Structure 1
Amino acid sequence: MSLLHSCRCKVARRPRLPQGGEKVAYEIGHPYDTGVMPTGDGHHIYWELYGHPQGKPAVVLHGGPGSGATPYWRQFFDPGRYRVVLFDQRGCGRSLPNAGDDVSALENNTTADLIRDLEALRRLHSIKQWLVFGASWGSTLGLSYAVRQPHSISELVLWAVVLTRSSDVHWITNVMGDVYPHEFDHLLLQLPAYPKDGNIPLAFNQLLRSPDPIVADAAARAWCGWEDRIATLNGPVVPSRRSEDPRLRLGFARLVTHYFGNFAFQRDDAITGSLDRIAHIPTFLLRGRLDVANPLRAAYEVAQGLSDVTLEIVENEGHGAGEETTARLVAVLDKLASE
């Protein structure tokens, strides 16, 4: 049985990639407008507009949870053809309160809350429909948003696709613990006792909420070290910028374990059981074959449930956006801007 037949999706041909130093992505420019949107329940969401004020509307959903909408995300969009809304999700970046400062940032902070923020931002900027662009946790949020608000979305472009189900959380902890046993055992040293339900992120979240800054920081260091291990496919672990910053690593670790430990605050079939609601939305999914942060089957299952979908697999890349992943994303966004 062919992949095309078994997943009922289009598997696109490999595009021509830049050669000899050609530019892969767009030069990162500056936003033309910024602001803060109060949510009415204790949060203030930072947003910015980038590109052309009359361009094709798009919204960026960053990963993490808790990574923030850094300038990095602007490189994928042609600033002459897109009007891009970027925002820091609750508890991170320039949104307040920040989980790196205050555990109150975890209150009123669920997937449903983030979806309400998306709709409020769409209305704030008088957008009827927008393209949803997201990666990693942002793909979970994007799909969750889509099945609840399908009429708000023109297209979905999602990469490093994950679903944040209980089985996916088990994968990134327990299953990967069999791949990296030394680092996994070091992670578990932070826990007073192995959780009976096996929910390691939730147990870590309790430590990360500790009023003792030494306890909280030790847990943050351990969790971010594990994330860095998963992100480094081979060789010595490459620490991320957030791992070296006390405030960033604490906020990131609090938000990730908050969402992972509660399985994105939704049923395991919240996405896969509702794909009929978004079957009409043109969808592009991209995964690295070497992405060990989540099973590739997650993206495959989503593709199986959709009709107007393209699933591409980059054979030699992992969870982050390498050159080929970046080139493919820019190519599909360019194509959609021209339609």
Structure 2
Amino acid sequence: MDVLYPGIEPHEHGMLDVGDGHRVYWEVSGNPKGKPVVVVHGGPGAGTNPVQRRHFDPSTYRIVLFDQRGCGRSTPHVSEPDADLSANTTWHLVADMERLREHLGIDRWQLFGGSWGATLAVAYAQTHPGRVSEIILRGVFLLRPSELDWLYRGGASALFPEAWAEFASLVPAGADPLVAYRDMVFDDDPDVRARAALAWSNWEGAAVSLIPNPALVAQYAATSFAVPFARIALHYFTNGGWLDDDQLIRDAGKLAGIPGRIVQGRYDIVCPPVTAWELRQAWPDSLLTLPTAGHAVTDPGVLQALREATDEFRLAGT
């Protein structure tokens, strides 16, 4: 049996003016009167895709997808050479989510986010706990310095030395890889920008799945994906996400009373399980599942655990 529900099309979509010159693409599929859930995509900068609708029973869920500022079908797009990211921060995105909830007339919604989407989901829930019915997280990333050090400053290089060598080859001796790559992906030379964005994206693509997945590797290697993915991510990472170093763990008490399910690949190299474990300890209303999987949402153990979580919550509180 396919773990994912059958593909569906949205029955509503639009562009929401969120201020600062930004318009955010949104769509709704599934049951118009169903339990509201919002998918918080990763990256930052990865955008939404049709598969994200398929984690939910369309007969019971009202499924909301949106493209965060600067990516996907939202405008202006970060791939534009003169893109201004000054009004693109974690807290702008939290405000955008709240504006979208109000626009759609939703009282409370379930949050479903993976990787960077987990960061943003937790930040939103800690800001607006009364608007959250449940939270499902996958491949937990909370944008702490230790997490950035692991993936981008050499920790994971011990496991993927050949891919790391390619990634590090563009970094000047003694330079911070995050700063060096940020400068390259915003360089005036389009060739420098494209080369750096592809190298950045290919590094994560090499480590994302427990078993190498050619389709995922190809996705990360596509310029149309890599450029917004790298530019927005580096903008966020070099600014610490506008978060205190341990803020989302420190403030986990604000999630009290919100049921949570955390699905974390046991062999996740991009976001090692220690972060999910620490969040679980700080959030007693959550449960942690550790399938034999890597970071990718397409890893079978992850898909199965997510299906179980969305099915468990689909009638809760209705």
Q: Same fold (TM over 0.5)?
A: yes
Q: How does 1:107-118 map to 2 (within 5 A)?
A: 107-118=86-97
**Shift, 1:107, TM fit:** 2.7
- 2:135 equivalent to 1:180: no
Report the equivalent of 1:106: 85
1:14 corresponds in structure 2 to none
How many residues are treated as equivalent by the alignment? 314
Q: Which of 201, 206, 212 is the matching residue for 2:178?
A: 201
Is 1:95 aligned with 2:74? yes
Deviations along 1:274-304, whole A, 9 cap, x unmatched? Answer: 1111111101101000101122110111111
**Contact 2:209/2:296 (8 A) holds in 1:** no
Separation of aligned partners in 2, 1:213 and 1:131: 40
Q: Which has the higher contact order (CA 8 A, sep 6+)?
A: 1
Identity %: 35
Whether contact under 8 Å (1:99, 1:252) holds in the other structure is no
Structure 1, unaligned stretches of length 5 or more? 1-21
For 1:302, give the aligned amino acid: L
Task: Please tell me whether the aligned partners of residues 35 and 46 of structure 1 are also in contact (alpha carbons under 8 angstroms).
Answer: yes
Q: How does 1:82-231 map to 2 (within 5 A)?
A: 82-173=61-152, 174-195=154-175, 198=176, 200-231=177-208
- Preserved contact between residue 188 and residue 194 of structure 1 (Cα < 8 Å): no
Q: In the alignment, what sits opposite 1:70?
A: 49
Distance in 2 between residues matched to 1:287 and 1:139, nearest whole Å: 11
For residues 79 and 143 of structure 1, what CA distance do their matches in structure 2 show? 25
Unaligned runs of 5+ in 2: none
- CA deviations 1:219-271 (Å, max 9, x no partner) are 11211121112124466977634434323211111112122222222111210
What secondary structure is seen at the aligned counterpart in 2 of 1:318?
coil
Distance in 1 between the 2:267 and 2:314 partners?
29
| TM-align CA RMSD | 1.7
Q: Is the 8 A contact 2:150 2:156 kept in 1?
A: yes
Give the C-alpha shift of residue 105 in structure 1: 4.8
1:277 aligns with 2:254: yes
In the alignment, what sits opposite 2:3? 24
Select the residue among 37, 52, 60 that pairs with 2:16.
Answer: 37
Does residue 294 of structure 2 align to residue 318 of structure 1? Answer: yes
Write out aligned runs for 1:284-299 (5 A). Answer: 284-299=261-276
SS in 2 for 1:183: helix
**Distance across 1 between alignment mates of 2:27 and 2:71:** 15
Contact 2:113 2:121 in 1 (8 A): yes
Tell me how far apart the structure 1 counterparts of residues 81 and 219 of structure 2 sit (CA, whole Å).
17
AA of the residue aligned to 1:189: S
